[in-house]
């Protein structure tokens, strides 16, 4: 059995380079996602009767961060 505590395997490089082209796609997607995330955020607050949910800016950022790389992979 291998002991990984003393010599753990190297982690993959997660250094995602954010170029100008990436930001040119990211910003409009982020702003287009804002109205939808505000609506979903309000709906979740009403349904859960709690303010313990992710905010609309965090939701819009994650949506844009998820969608923008899909454009570059096509």
| pLDDT exceeds 70 at position 67 | yes
Predicted pLDDT of residue 30: 96
Predicted pLDDT of residue 38: 94
| pLDDT exceeds 90 at position 61 | yes
DSSP conformation letters of 4-38? TTTSPPPPPP------HHHHHHHHHHHHHHHHHHH
Among 67, 72, 60, 71, which Cα is nearest to 32's? 60
12-40 pLDDT tens trace: 666 667 889 999 999 999 999 999 999 99
Predicted pLDDT of residue 3: 61
Residue with tokens 């010599």: 7
């Amino acid at each position: 059995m291998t002991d990984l505590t003393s010599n753990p395997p190297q982690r993959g490089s997660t250094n995602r380079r954010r170029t100008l082209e990436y930001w040119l796609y990211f910003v409009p997607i982020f702003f287009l996602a804002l109205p939808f995330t505000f609506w979903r955020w309000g709906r979740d607050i009403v349904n859960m009767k709690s303010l313990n949910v992710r905010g609309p800016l965090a939701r819009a950022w994650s949506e844009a961060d998820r969608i923008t790389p899909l454009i570059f992979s096509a």
